[in-house]
Amino acid sequence: MRVYKFGGASVKDADGVKNLAKVLQTTGYDNTLVVISAMGKTTNSMELVIKNYFENKDELQSALHDVIKYHNDIMVDLFSNNHHQVFKDVKAFFDELSLFFKSNKSPDYNYVYDQVIGYGELISTTIISHYLNEIDLKNNWVDVRELIKTDNYYRHSNINWEATQTNISSHININILNITQGFLGSDANNFTTTLGREGSDYTAAIFAYCLNANSVTIWKDVPGVLNADPRFFKNTQLLHQISYREAIELAFYGASVIHPKTLQPLQQKEIPLYVKSFLNPKGNGTCVSKGKDLEPEIPCFIVKKNQTLISLSSLDFSYIMEENISDIFSLLHLYKMKVDVIQNSAISFSVCIDNLYDNLEKLLQHLKAKFNVTCNRNVSLYTIRNYNDLAIKELEKDKTILLKQLTQGTVQIVTK
């Protein structure tokens, strides 16, 4: 049993869908489960729909129409018969979405987000499943929400592994090609939940763990795991093999090629992860597997943009003690801040955070009641794994350094 995952970039248009089919034909598709994301930038478009629902209802239908048109154009390119069942199935999803907007009574943004955002995945997999059947790649479309069960921590739900294992083991036929959605699950009340932005990799790992898969392959528009993101760094190099431990470190620090939670279930069962290019399916790509001797021998660079650096000091120049730090972390947890770096001295404490839930202003007001607060917004956090002096020097060139922290094997630098 193999698990494949295709992201939005791989199915952004009709040609992408056709190429996905070619990848399956090239590599084989028996005993395969394929996890697929929303098409192209659909998730961004759906976030605009949600924003308009809450803030600008006059623009809601226009934003939704753009999403409908985008998918309809792809279907027209893929299916010569405009009466094909796929058009009816996709319309049914959009009708269901429109009904939700009319009937919803909940003011909870996170709940609404999860009920709406997943239609991107449901629609993309419906289109792709129909297309594969059309070209005789017979497959079974699976609603992942019926299998992956979670708590109701909307937008970042936690897996109920026991229920999920039972569902997947009893409902997935491993002898055929299965098509399902990434990113989604459902809670005990069967409301849709999501696993965190870019969570489709994690979905693939969940299925692999529950099915005791032989491997997971993530199909990307890059040749594999590179030592840096080519959008931000020059002269990047392919890492042919890396260990689970190093991949987890890279993902934790923000390497976008692998979702942070993906490696843990795979490592537990020693299921190898391959990262390959959907443009070159026969290429070797990168293999992530067990082995202490698989650490990269070159510096690996990671950048996270649009971060926030908060620096605190005591109002009366007293020490920042354990009790203060405990209070700070309680507030960070309360306002759902993703902590990336911390640094403290006798009378100061700095933390670089990712304001995922847009709660920064509430957090700052709370902190100002107890501390002197300095806030630097829109900073960049750079991390270098396996650093050397030259790598640090090149990174720091022409940048204003706000915070720098070196530990064994890792340096983190916050810049303005």
Annotated binding site for ATP: 231
How do beta strands 273-277 and 286-289 pair?
Answer: antiparallel
| 330 C-beta neighbours (distance < 10 Å), count | 11
Whole-number Å distance between alpha carbons of 250 and 232: 16
Whole-number Å distance between alpha carbons of 158 and 196: 10
Whole-number Å distance between alpha carbons of 134 and 138: 8
The amino acid at residue 82 is N
Q: From the annotation, which residues make up the binding site?
A: 231
Residues in the chain: 416
Whole-number Å distance between alpha carbons of 42 and 12: 9
72: enclosing H helix or E strand: helix 60-78
* CA-CA-CA-CA torsion sign (120, 256, 144, 30): positive
* DSSP-derived secondary structure for 191-229: -EEE-STTTHHHHHHHHHHHHT-SEEEEEESSSS-BSS-
